[in-house]
Amino acid sequence: MTLRPIPFALAALFIHAPALADDFVLQRVLVEGSRANQIGLTDSASSGSVGAKELAQLTVYRPGELLEATPGLIASQHSGEGKANQFYLRGFNLDHGTDLATWVDGMPVNQRSHAHGQGWTDLNFLIPELVARLDYRKGPYSSAEGDFSSAGKASLAYANRLVAPLASVTLGQDNYARTVFAGSPAAAGGHLLYALELMKNDGPWTRPDGYRKVNAVLRYSRGYANNGWNVTAMHYRGHWNATDQVPLRAVASGQLGRFDALDLSDGGEAQRSSLSGTWRRTTSDEATHLSAYVIRNRLDLYSNFTYFLNDPVNGDQFSQPDRRVTSGLDGSHTWHVLRNGAVSSDMTVGVQLQNDNIFNGLYDTRARQRLATTREDHIVETSGALFLESATRWSEALRTVVGVRANAYRFRVDGDRAENSGRASDSLLTPALSIAYGPWQTTELYLNYGHGFHSNDARGTVATLDPKTLDPVDRTPGLVRSRGMEVGLRTVAIPKTETTLSVYRLDFDSELTYIGDAGNTEAGDPSRRYGVELSNNYQANKWLTVNFDAAYARARSRGGNPAGDRIPGAVEGVAQVGLTVDKAGPWTGALRLRYFGPRPLIEDDSVRSRASVTLNGRVGYRIGKDMRIELEGFNLTNRRDSAIDYYYASRLQNEAEAVDDIHFHPIEPRSFRLSFVKNW
């Protein structure tokens, strides 16, 4: 595939403000195949874009799995369907989103100082039919990226206009039903995009999930992706029962089935409402982008992971309510400051502001009834960042991006204990450098270096007492620095094939995390990760595409922990193989084999998880010009693997003392869903 030449100034806009490139990227994907050639458009081998067509070809069990279009990323689940996914990438167990910055339509999804876990990333409000593009970037190599982005960033953009209105109905096993209505008629000189999603799913669990959700989007837009504006309102509400992870010993003895639960009252309810707006203006000499948002999130979560370990009478269920309003403003301006023959340069200055007004807590409960209070807090967390980036093309073969970002955070915690209340602040300067060298038309080499960070929970920055034991604790810094470097290659030298290869190292000063289930902050050792990633896309012919992605990471702590230097849950090897059939008359189809490798579950590596392998597929048939039918299948080989594994102590009601054991959440058994889609 031959890359069409584009001005470097325009390419820089794609790299540093991907949302400006909606129409271009979508057009390239639709015209040139399921994955567009990224040579000349990215500044690392581990960044890229995935268009709407390829995303639509994925077979996903839940919305968060759309992020698995990012090579090397795994999205899993250890609880009810309404709970945020568990993510794995580059040697990290990212929990519910720490160190994976996730954005949807210009709004951050990660929630800071969350009741359940730092960086909580709930994507259940996502409507896949509206997603126009996924932009991903791995590693801290861009000054435009901030909090939670050290391992990677995934940004999903909604379309302003749909090709045609649609109505779809999906029915499946386990009482699954989903319907979507969407369209974008012309209105008052612009377009009014609307979408409504209704869904229910009980899952294979002995106690049904009872997951019910309502999802709606309303957007008005005028102009185009690079010269125009839009205003968008979204609303999501879901409630569910949860079958959390279960102890292996109880299943092995026959006390529990694989799909049973120990606490039948676990579950939750979530709501999200947002109002956002974006304005963009682009000329031949400069480009400006402004966006603002207000997001209201509510969560009530009930969990019980240790059963009767702490309270033999009432059990160990706990409640984590979280109420917050998040507001923010992002802006950037790019000047084309130099054009001198083969040399051209762009300068970008940007600002990002965010404020979170949070009320959350931690309570002991029984059957969702409150028994005792561990902590209650009102948190105000405010951050500001200013970044500068200079993107220069020195010749047809060489280009660089140099940037620096200044970050400042303020934390205010008003808690139910004076000892855990107060104010704190922290700041950090994070530089970045990217070099791309491509003396050949078909191959580019990349060298990347940069600093990143993640913020810690605000409560840890002011706490002096453990709220459970009342033992003294050390305060934690607000921001934790990471340092990364990467060498990569991207080539289309092999006919019909694009290959990327990257080797990286990522260091963290400390893997400090807030343990929401216990109400305190746990200070981890410094860490280092090495890894290698390989991605291939082969267009065998006009109707068959083959994808193969594989990644391996080595994660170690560096603090001399006598228990061992392994990092529990750190992902090692992952791989995906995909076959996609398109343009085969009225038929379309896809198969995707996913390998999620074993992981250490304890610091000395004496207990490890097993690998998980799943095969999902889809076949579609177009009935006329505007109607199609699709059959999706999940876990087609019906493997009895784990979606996730942990190792910790728990106690069953009939046990006299705690037992260290593997606790796992099974992958769902083989199931099918049938969809009817109508366009007009």
Q: What is the DSSP letter of 91?
A: T
Domain boundaries, the chain: 8-602+617-679
Q: What is the pLDDT of residue 2?
A: 31
Q: Judge whether residue 224 has pLDDT over 50.
A: yes
pLDDT tens figures, 477-510: 999 999 999 999 999 999 999 999 999 999 999 8
pLDDT tens figures, 406-423: 999 999 999 999 999 999
Coil, strand or helix at 594: strand
**pLDDT-based confidence at residue 522 (cuts at 50, 70, 90):** low
Give the list of residues 6+ apart from residue 343 with CB closer than 8 angstroms, or none.
392, 393, 394, 395
Q: Judge whether residue 19 has pLDDT over 80.
A: no
Distance CA(355)–CA(328), nearest Å, equals 6
The model carries a pTM of 0.92
Counts of helices then strands in the chain (DSSP H, E): 5, 37
**pLDDT-based confidence at residue 561 (cuts at 50, 70, 90):** confident
Coil, strand or helix at 29: helix
Residue carrying the six token digits 């929401």: 516
Cβ contacts of 507-513, under 8 Å, gap ≥ 24: 507/482, 507/483, 508/150, 508/480, 508/481, 508/482, 509/480, 509/481, 509/482, 510/480, 511/480, 511/557, 511/567, 512/456, 512/460, 512/476, 512/477, 512/480, 513/95, 513/98, 513/117, 513/118, 513/456
Strand partners, 192: 220
Coil, strand or helix at 53: helix
In single-letter form, the type of residue at position 418 comes to: A
Q: What is the pLDDT of residue 141?
A: 97
Residue carrying the six token digits 């000892």: 419
Pairing mode of beta strands 152-158, 100-104: parallel
Q: What is the DSSP letter of 541?
A: S
Q: Judge whether residue 125 has pLDDT over 50.
A: yes
By C-alpha distance, which of 532, 481, 526, 544 is closest to 503?
532
CATH for 8-602+617-679, options being 3.40.140.10, 3.30.1360.120, 3.30.1330.10, 2.40.170.20: 2.40.170.20
Pairing mode of beta strands 107-108, 398-415: unpaired
Tokens at residue 353, please?
Answer: 């502001």
Q: What is the pLDDT of residue 16?
A: 38
Q: What is the pLDDT of residue 523?
A: 65
Q: What is the pLDDT of residue 10?
A: 40
In single-letter form, the type of residue at position 407 comes to: N
Q: Judge whether residue 27 has pLDDT over 50.
A: no
Q: Judge whether residue 295 has pLDDT over 50.
A: yes
318 half-sphere exposure, CB direction, 13 A CA radius: 21
By C-alpha distance, which of 290, 289, 291, 287 is closest to 335?
287
In the predicted model, what is the mean pLDDT of residues 123-147? 96
Q: What is the dihedral of CA 89, 94, 99, 105, to 10 degrees?
A: 80
Distance CA(491)–CA(536), nearest Å, equals 10
Lowest mean pLDDT among 32-41, 361-370, 514-523: 514-523
Contact 270, 237 (CB under 8 A): yes
By C-alpha distance, which of 242, 290, 317 is closest to 80?
242
**pLDDT-based confidence at residue 515 (cuts at 50, 70, 90):** low
